[in-house]
Structure 1
Amino acid sequence: MAVVDLAEAAPGILVLTMQDRVNKNAFTDEMTLALLDAFETIAAEEQAKVVVLTGFDSYFSTGGDQSALLRLHEGEGNFATTSLYSLALDCRIPVISAMQGHGIGGGFVIGLFADMVFLSRESVYTTNFMKYGFTPGMGATYMVPLKMGTALGHEMLMTARNYRGEELKQRGVPFAVLPRDQVLPEAVKAARQLAEKPRVSLITLKDHLVAEQRRRLPEFIQAEVAMHQKTFHQDEVKEKILSLFGR
């Protein structure tokens, strides 16, 4: 089974499902290439008006896999080699992230790049970069405070602790937080509302609404890569990746 599935749920509505059950939707090389290819396909779909990005069962995405983190520790490339993190932002049509399952590290951040976000009460959401001793990447230092609020966003980035969706709801996050089985249906319902509008109008409005994000993001990516040069190559980071990954 392919690690992603792209299907038309209704006229103008595409649902992109990450479904790598073996790796819990981690950003393996296969998943990364599949997502890049899927968004290229979406860009060529001239009738598409909205994309719903979701996962399977209790997982949305678990972010970078252990082997990728170890390669970064060894200085083999950086997370900005591809535009994986900003696929939703760069997409011309609106993207809705239906994070019905756990969103971990970059897996949570990639969902926050969407134009609309739905979370589940039961799932865990975390920006766990500092758990392993390296500073956040994937645009997290910009997108997390922007979408979650400055105080909560900074707390999430610095403590790297886990938050259930219900706790985030109580903390006042500006997203719908629903029982897990309602997340995708409600996201599709929102997609239907968008699909009623002309495609040109949706694209034009999105371009206006996210113009500042698209303009500012590169400076944050550059700063995050520079911070990784200082923090990723510590022996302690490798030890934490080997001992704590997946816990």
Structure 2
Amino acid sequence: MGISVRYEGAVAVVSIHRPEALNALNRELIDQLDACISEIESRKEVKCVILHGSKNFAAGADIAQMADCDPEGAKAFAFSPVYNRMVQLPVPTIAAMEGYALGGGLELALACDLRICGESAKLGFPEIGLGIMPGAGGTIRAPRLIGGAKAMEMIFTGSSLSAADAERIGLVNRVVSDGDVLTAAMEMAMKIAKKSRAALEVAKHSILAGMEMTSVTEAVAMEAENWSGMFATYDQKEGMHAFLEKRKPSFADR
């Protein structure tokens, strides 16, 4: 049982392994994920991160550990600080989802930038049936991704979505055959990993920061500052000169 990370070139693959509980998340697993994030942060050669659970992404949180919590105990159990660290990773992240991605598991996927799921995957927020609501970003990130009405429908009814419906409403980027989820995620990650890490970092920061800003004019001004600042980087010079010279760029590894 546990969460581990391995590296394939510039791609970090984080694996959730608790098959006997359908990869349900508990405090121990979240603490291990926290440690994996710290390790990834220290490796400047990483350009993309995949988060994957074999057969099931994560079938929610471990209810047995929460059932008798009081409000203060529930706060200590909260996964949000670690999920926020996943969001704040400077490079793109991909959730590769098989089987169940429910409750805290779906919230973990929402903390990633991109989502790929298998055709038989089931995604949902069943917390309302337990007398609670999503508490690790579900009521915040889902509306921003799919709109308030669709998020409310998912959260208020507790119903699960099929992979096809999740793709239709924009909850996931792509649906593939069940056995091809990790392969598809790796193909996307390897494509990303060929790009400039400096450019990936600034692009991700600009997107996330812009989504938080209420003024489009101010957001576009922020984007322009980020864009122009990149003309001081090695990768900008290498990328543009490689284009002009009709060759593949050799971006800096850092």
Match of 1:126 in 2: 124
Shift of 1:24: 2.2
Match of 2:15 among 14, 17, 20: 17
Match of 1:4 in 2: 3
- Choose between structure 1 and 2 for higher RCO, CA contacts under 8 A separated by at least 6 residues: 1
Match of 1:45 in 2: 43
- Provide closer, same or farther for how the CA distance between residues 71 and 207 of structure 1 changes in structure 2, counting only shifts above 3 A: farther
- Residue 153 of structure 1 aligns with an amino acid whose one-letter code is A
2: distance between equivalents of 1:82 and 1:114? 13
**Residue 67 (1) aligns with residue 101 (2):** no
Deviations 1:178-224 (A, max 9, x none): 221122111111111110111111111111111255789xxxxxxxx
Shift of 1:75: 4.1
2: distance between equivalents of 1:66 and 1:34? 19
- Residue 5 of structure 2 aligns with an amino acid whose one-letter code is L
Match of 2:85 in 1: 87
- Secondary structure of the residue aligned to 1:210 is helix
2: distance between equivalents of 1:169 and 1:117? 9
Match of 1:96 among 94, 97, 116: 94
In structure 2, the gaps of 5 or more residues are 215-254
Match of 2:218 in 1: none
2: distance between equivalents of 1:17 and 1:67? 23
Match of 1:242 in 2: none
- 2:117–2:172 CA contact under 8 A, matched in 1: no
Shift of 1:68: 2.9
Match of 2:33 in 1: 35
**Residue 145 (1) aligns with residue 143 (2):** yes
Q: Which moved more, 1:62-71 or 1:77-86?
A: 77-86
Shift of 1:86: 2.1
- Secondary structure of the residue aligned to 2:69 is helix
Identity %: 23
1: distance between equivalents of 2:191 and 2:114? 12
1: distance between equivalents of 2:189 and 2:79? 31
- Provide closer, same or farther for how the CA distance between residues 195 and 66 of structure 1 changes in structure 2, counting only shifts above 3 A: same
- Residue 76 of structure 1 aligns with an amino acid whose one-letter code is G
- Residue 95 of structure 1 aligns with an amino acid whose one-letter code is T
- 1:25–1:31 CA contact under 8 A, matched in 2: no
The correspondence of residues 159-238 of structure 1 with structure 2, limited to 5 A, is: 159-171=157-169, 173=171, 175-212=173-210
In structure 1, the gaps of 5 or more residues are 217-247
2: distance between equivalents of 1:91 and 1:183? 22
1: distance between equivalents of 2:140 and 2:51? 21
Deviation beyond 6 Å, 4+ runs, structure 1 = none
**Number of corresponding residues:** 213
Match of 1:114 in 2: 112
TM-score normalised by L of structure 1: 0.78
